[in-house]
Amino acid sequence: MIIRKAEAKDARAIAQISVDTWKDAYKGLIDNAVLESRKVDDKRILSWVDNINNPDFIVLVCEDKEILGYLWGGPARDEYGLKNEIYALYVKTSSQRRGIGSELIKEYKQRIKNESFYLYMIKNNKKASSFYEASGGSICEKHNRKLEIPNQTIEEICYIFK
């Protein structure tokens, strides 16, 4: 398994993983119409190219012969006294439970010099919560939040990693 910094050529694969894993991981948690509206299109791919090329962001991918997962992190967007945040961490459904997510987090920690960080997870995502807790994350209830999306309010749980 190779963990490396993403390159612009990886944008389509990252976008595909994002769309596919959302449809799988959030089925029953996010309105089906919202999930079905997610597509791998030029706009999404160009957004990933921008993320990959932005020096403030860290985008890592796991690759053997194909990209199996990615982590996207950068400066904290909230004032919690932490400088780092993981915005997204997704592994292809068929490649989960093989240590890829753990390796991505391990590499991210090295790149941020083992400083603390946080991330948000959609409430009731049991598989993700088990993974984040096994990876050293602790729920910080005072930072939980709600997001408005079409037809739904989503609750997100904040995990802090120290």
Q: Decide if pLDDT at 18 tops 80.
A: yes
Q: Decide if pLDDT at 119 tops 90.
A: yes
Overall average pLDDT of the 76-93 stretch: 95
Which CATH number belongs to the domain containing residue 68 in this structure? 3.40.630.30
CA-CA-CA-CA torsion sign (55, 46, 85, 111): negative
Place of tokens 């919560």: 129
Q: What is the CA radius of gyration of the chain?
A: 15
User: How many structural domains are present in the chain?
Assistant: 1
Q: Decide if pLDDT at 64 tops 80.
A: no
pLDDT at 89: 97
Angle at 132 (CA atoms; ends 53, 1), nearest 5 degrees:
55
Q: Decide if pLDDT at 40 tops 90.
A: yes
Per the structure, the complete domain to which residue 126 belongs is given by 2-161
Tell me the backbone φ, ψ of residue 105, rounded to 5 degrees: -65, -40
Overall average pLDDT of the 112-119 stretch: 97
Which pLDDT band holds residue 54 (cuts at 50, 70, 90)? very high
pLDDT at 63: 82
Strand runs labelled E in the chain:
2-5, 58-63, 67-75, 84-91, 117-122, 137-139, 145-149, 152-161
Asked whether the beta carbons of 86 and 94 are under 8 A apart, the reply is: no
Q: Is the pTM value of this prediction over 0.85?
A: yes
